[in-house]
Amino acid sequence: MDCLDQKNNTSRSRVFASEIVSYSQHEFMVPGRVTMKTTIRTFAAFALAAAASGALAANDGNVATGVNAASQGDFQVNLNLGTAIVVKNLGDLTLDATTAVNGQPIVGREQICVGGVGFSSYSVDLVSTNGITGGGAGATFGFQLNGSAQNLEYSASFADDTNLSSTGDSADSSTGVVTGGSYLRNGTLGCTSDNAQVIVSVPNWESATETTYSDTLTVTVTAE
């Protein structure tokens, strides 16, 4: 399917301390050139607790005497880590219709990183502030781009890879829960490279009667 895939990497998110779940927001602006402006707030789970458990199994050595005498003791080394998760590397996403194909949706991909420590898998929610998923006032669609007098529907999906051919797992239009279930964590808290993507598709862009539409898309990743 011919579509327009675009990603703007000009802005990046900042990470703040939270408890277990990381939370971020995207604001989209879509013109009749269909544009998406993204404002990001990322709240990251950051609870690294490193505490040595006291030498509960330590054994002192015995007194040794004489030539080449040696005394031996031992102690246990413990590492305790709290669960921490973060979503990072979100940036402004801009879509336009300059290379769009009539009858085909305009598609944008925002590549991100999901990382953490102390857990093996995570789940994802995608919520539209204007849409039903976000409890938007008078919302008609699950994911909704608002103009001044007309609103447009879009869909949101998540893929735990950065392949441009991926279609991802769609987010439920009522709850925003991504239907793929759990995803294996393959990133650290440093998130030095992208390992996932949010895919946005605007199917009925040709019906637009205005030049600018916007929404805020919130991405929440939860450690499991």
For every residue of the chain, which 3-state class applies, written as one string?
CCCCCCCCCCCCCCEEEECCEEEEEEEEECCCCCCCCCCCCEEEECCCCCCCCCCCCCECCCCCCCCCCCCCCECCCCCCCCCEEEEECCCCCCCCCCCCCCCCCEEEEEEEEEEEECCCEEEEEEEECCCHHHCCCCCCCCCEEECCCCEEECEEEEECCCCCCCCCEEECCCCCEECCCCEECCCCCCCCCCCEEEEEEECCHHHCCCCCCEEEEEEEEEEC
Q: Is residue 5 part of a domain?
A: no
Looking at residue 94, its pLDDT comes to: 87
Looking at residue 54, its pLDDT comes to: 45
Looking at residue 57, its pLDDT comes to: 81
* pLDDT tens per residue across all 224 residues of the chain: 444 454 444 333 333 333 334 444 555 554 443 334 433 333 333 333 444 444 468 999 999 999 999 999 999 999 999 999 999 999 988 899 988 999 999 999 999 999 999 999 999 999 999 999 999 999 999 999 999 999 999 999 999 999 999 999 999 999 999 999 999 999 999 999 999 999 999 999 999 999 999 999 999 999 99
d(CA 87, CA 41): 10
Q: Is residue 170 part of a domain?
A: yes
Q: Domain tally for the chain?
A: 1
Instruction: Tell me which residue range forms the domain holding 208.
Output: 15-50+80-223
Q: Is residue 66 part of a domain?
A: no
Q: Is residue 75 part of a domain?
A: no
Q: Is residue 9 part of a domain?
A: no
Q: Is residue 3 part of a domain?
A: no
Looking at residue 122, its pLDDT comes to: 98
Looking at residue 182, its pLDDT comes to: 97
Q: Is residue 180 part of a domain?
A: yes
Distances (CA, A) of 167 to 1, 3, 154, 197, 219: 11, 12, 14, 10, 17
Retrieve residue 153's tokens.
Answer: 């529907």
- pTM recorded for the entire structure: 0.75
Q: Is residue 146 part of a domain?
A: yes
